[in-house]
């Protein structure tokens, strides 16, 4: 849904509104960095914590998320599945594009009143209605442009089709009221799936499905959906997403990425698929630091993707491997999912940290096997092995860049900064390295980088927000307790329970982030596993890895679309390549499930 050029007064209005949104969004990124870094310095250096820093950062973050989503809508950068759209005829494609725009407008219109009702804390809650209103204005401007570029017919057809679907569902409301949990299939599988495959942006598709379920299948007050979106988008853990996105752009701009890649390419350039192995290892090193898989990927992809593309790697394969590494490293400490499991089940967090390292290595080895197979015939006849002295020289140059992940991890482990704050240390480190060591810091690129950060973060966070509302709807339906009761009654003992757990948590992972899923299902299922003789740490690893599979598997996995957004790759391109990686991860998960020693051998 790329933006089309506008002419006349719509063009002037679009430019003015774009400027009015992009600059505040960029400044909000800077403000959040400054507030969090000030908190770290005040607490660690002056031993005087800023009690207000987290609250202020949370308020600024929600505004950043919403204005970033507005910028992404204006630029046409919200993630969407376009497999069917790209294969359609010109006329059908114009209709589908108009349909996507009208569907976005329909969702924004539906949640406008609930958002206004939720307007209680002015400075915080106003972000949602203001952001939704601005997105509505840019949606109308987009429709105006489509009238000029595609003609009146497809726009009118899209308006009529969306109106007809809404009217049909509204008239069928009495029927939905009596269907009970069947509504979960109708809305969360049927409506959400149809929206995704029709090319409607993922976040809006999830939102439409959730709104339809709550409005037609339950008696839940509609402002709840806005409250759940607010909760999902404003969690302070997710503040690491824009900060690590900016850190990734900063690493590239300061020359750190180029120095690091030059060394890694010299070290492994003569190995078939060499930089793919580097990507797997790099994600293992940084994983869990930020508390968000999207932030972890954002810290790695900008540094590696350009060189990998230059060496002939296909964008779809890159984003597929990036998503797969996100699933692979879910158990690497200091993962906040591990901390959450410990807090809600009473399992030792130290034991979880110890048990999480080896399962991720097993899955990493499975991914390396797929990389070896795919690149076994790579032609490296023109690639010469770099002399050892040159490799050593490049290592010295790259050392400040290579040290960054270790600096970040040490800051978390030593208690200098929280998982959310640590990205600001990375940003400060990168700025100093760029100014003093690499002498590459283009001040002119700073503003566009901040706007890009806001846009990408907004696209990711809107998906997470609507997915959180969807997860809440699943919980309120009683689905979680029903699932626990069904799994407790399974025949076959521990092996069958583990097998069904892998299946169930893979499905749950596609619609739930790790932490909400653990909070919902951990207290219910861990006692059952314990009664069947399954070690708590072993079961925790199986659950986390299975959820990782679902979280990063298309077509519904939120993590997959986050990887595509970070890599700036169309989701269609990664679906084929990711199948092999996901199969390898599934095999690795099964190995971890049925070889308990991998999880508990070092306890």
Minimal CA–CA distance to 575: which of 598, 595, 552, 597?
Answer: 552
**Per-residue confidence at 584, pLDDT binned at 50, 70, 90?**
very high
The Cα 11–Cα 177 span in angstroms is 45
What are the residues whose beta carbons fall under 8 Å from the beta carbon of 114, sequence distance 6 or more? Answer: 222, 223, 224, 225, 226
What percentage of the chain carries pLDDT values higher than 90? Answer: 22
Q: What is the pLDDT of residue 516?
A: 62
Q: What is the pLDDT of residue 165?
A: 93
Contacts of 257-261 with C-beta under 8 Å, sequence gap 24+, read: 257/302, 257/303, 257/304, 257/306, 257/401, 259/394, 259/397, 259/398, 259/400, 259/401, 259/438, 260/303, 260/398, 260/401, 260/402, 261/303, 261/304, 261/306, 261/307
Cβ burial, residue 534 (10 Å; 0-12/13-18/19+) = buried
What are the residues whose beta carbons fall under 8 Å from the beta carbon of 291, sequence distance 6 or more? Answer: 237, 240, 335, 336, 419, 420
pLDDT above 80 (res 541): yes
Q: What is the pLDDT of residue 88?
A: 81
The Cα 245–Cα 426 span in angstroms is 11
Minimal CA–CA distance to 418: which of 486, 334, 482, 483?
Answer: 334
Query: Higher pLDDT residue, 262 or 357?
Result: 357
Q: What is the pLDDT of residue 315?
A: 86
CB 322 within 8 A of CB 300: yes
The lowest-confidence range among 167-181, 411-425, 498-512, 529-543 is: 411-425
Minimal CA–CA distance to 61: which of 229, 240, 225, 206?
Answer: 240
Q: What is the pLDDT of residue 164?
A: 95
Answer whether 0.95 is exceeded by the pTM: no
pLDDT single digits (tens) 376-416: 877 666 667 788 898 899 899 888 888 887 787 677 767 78
pLDDT above 80 (res 513): no
CB 542 within 8 A of CB 499: no
Q: What is the pLDDT of residue 150?
A: 80
What percentage of the chain carries pLDDT values higher than 70? Answer: 89
Phi-psi region of 493 (alpha: psi -120 to 50; beta: other; left: phi over 0): left
Cβ burial, residue 368 (10 Å; 0-12/13-18/19+) = middle
Minimal CA–CA distance to 300: which of 334, 254, 251?
Answer: 251
pLDDT single digits (tens) 45-66: 887 878 777 778 888 888 999 9
The Cα 572–Cα 199 span in angstroms is 11
**Per-residue confidence at 284, pLDDT binned at 50, 70, 90?**
confident
Q: What is the pLDDT of residue 382?
A: 66
Average pLDDT value for residue range 233-248: 77
Average pLDDT value for residue range 480-490: 73
pLDDT single digits (tens) 179-233: 888 888 899 889 988 888 888 898 899 899 999 999 998 888 888 888 888 887 8
**Per-residue confidence at 71, pLDDT binned at 50, 70, 90?**
very high
Q: How far is CA 330 from the centre of its chain?
A: 13
The lowest-confidence range among 13-27, 134-148, 478-492 is: 478-492
The Cα 381–Cα 46 span in angstroms is 57
pLDDT above 70 (res 6): no
pLDDT above 90 (res 169): yes
pLDDT single digits (tens) 306-356: 777 877 778 888 899 999 998 888 888 756 677 677 767 778 777 887 888
Q: What is the pLDDT of residue 295?
A: 66
pLDDT above 60 (res 291): no
Check the CA dihedral 326-327-329-331 and report its sign: positive
Q: How far is CA 358 from the centre of its chain?
A: 24
Q: What is the pLDDT of residue 23?
A: 94
The Cα 217–Cα 215 span in angstroms is 6
- Backbone φ and ψ for 220, nearest 5 degrees, come out as -65, 135
Helix/strand number for the chain, H first, E second: 30, 0
């Amino acid at each position: 849904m790329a933006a089309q050029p506008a002419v006349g007064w719509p063009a002037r209005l679009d430019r003015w509104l774009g400027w009015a949104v992009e600059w505040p969004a960029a400044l909000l990124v800077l403000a959040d960095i400054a507030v969090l870094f000030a908190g770290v310095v005040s607490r660690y250096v002056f031993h005087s914590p800023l009690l207000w820093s987290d609250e202020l950062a949370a308020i600024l973050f929600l505004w950043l998320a919403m204005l970033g989503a507005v910028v992404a809508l204006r630029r046409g950068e919200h993630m969407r599945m376009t497999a069917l759209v790209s294969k359609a005829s010109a006329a059908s494609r114009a209709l589908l594009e108009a349909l996507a725009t009208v569907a976005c407008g329909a969702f924004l219109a539906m949640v406008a009143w609930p958002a206004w009702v939720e307007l209680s804390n002015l400075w915080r809650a106003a972000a949602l209605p203001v952001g939704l209103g601005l997105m509505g204005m840019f949606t109308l401007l987009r429709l105006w442009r489509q009238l000029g570029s595609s003609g009146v017919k497809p726009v009118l057809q899209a308006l009529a089709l969306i109106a007809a679907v809404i009217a049909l569902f509204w008239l069928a409301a009495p029927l939905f009221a009596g269907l009970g949990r069947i509504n979960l299939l109708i809305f969360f599988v049927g409506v959400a799936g149809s929206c995704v495959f029709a090319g409607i942006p993922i976040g809006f598709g999830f939102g439409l499905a959730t709104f339809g379920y709550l409005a037609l299948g339950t008696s839940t007050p509609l402002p709840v959906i806005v409250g759940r979106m607010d909760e999902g988008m404003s969690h302070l853990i997710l503040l690491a997403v824009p900060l690590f996105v900016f850190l990734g752009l900063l690493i590239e701009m300061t020359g750190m990425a180029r120095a690091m890649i030059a060394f890694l390419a010299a070290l492994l350039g003569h190995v078939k698929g060499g930089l793919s192995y580097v990507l797997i290892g790099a994600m293992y090193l940084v994983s869990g630091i930020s508390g968000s898989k999207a932030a972890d990927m954002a810290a790695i992809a900008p540094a590696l993707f350009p060189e990998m593309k230059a060496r002939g790697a296909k964008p779809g394969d890159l984003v597929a491997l990036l998503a797969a590494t996100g699933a692979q490293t879910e158990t690497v400490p200091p993962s906040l999912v591990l901390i959450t499991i410990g807090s809600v089940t009473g399992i030792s967090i130290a034991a979880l940290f110890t048990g999480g390292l080896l399962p991720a290595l097993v899955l990493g080895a499975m991914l390396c096997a797929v990389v070896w197979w795919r690149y076994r015939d790579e032609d490296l006849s023109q690639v010469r092995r770099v002399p050892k002295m040159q490799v050593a020289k490049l290592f010295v140059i790259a050392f400040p860049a290579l040290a960054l992940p270790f600096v970040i991890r040490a800051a978390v482990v030593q208690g200098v900064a929280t998982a959310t704050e640590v990205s600001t240390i990375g940003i400060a480190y990168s700025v100093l390295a760029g100014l003093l060591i690499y002498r590459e810091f283009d001040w002119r690129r700073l503003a566009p980088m901040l706007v890009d950060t806001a846009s990408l973060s907004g696209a990711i966070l809107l998906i997470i927000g609507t997915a959180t509302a969807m997860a809440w709807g699943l919980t309120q339906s009683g689905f979680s307790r029903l699932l626990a009761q069904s799994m407790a009654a399974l025949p076959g003992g521990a092996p069958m329970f583990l097998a069904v757990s892998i299946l169930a948590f893979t499905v749950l992972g596609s619609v739930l982030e790790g932490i909400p899923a653990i909070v919902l299902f951990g207290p219910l299922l861990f006692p059952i596993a314990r009664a069947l003789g399954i070690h708590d740490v072993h079961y925790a690893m199986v659950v986390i890895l299975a959820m990782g599979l679902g979280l990063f598997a298309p077509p519904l996995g939120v993590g997959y679309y986050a990887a595509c957004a970070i890599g700036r790759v169309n989701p269609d391109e990664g679906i084929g390549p990711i199948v092999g990686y996901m199969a390898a991860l599934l095999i690795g998960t099964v190995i971890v499930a049925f070889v308990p020693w991998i999880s508990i051998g070092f306890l």
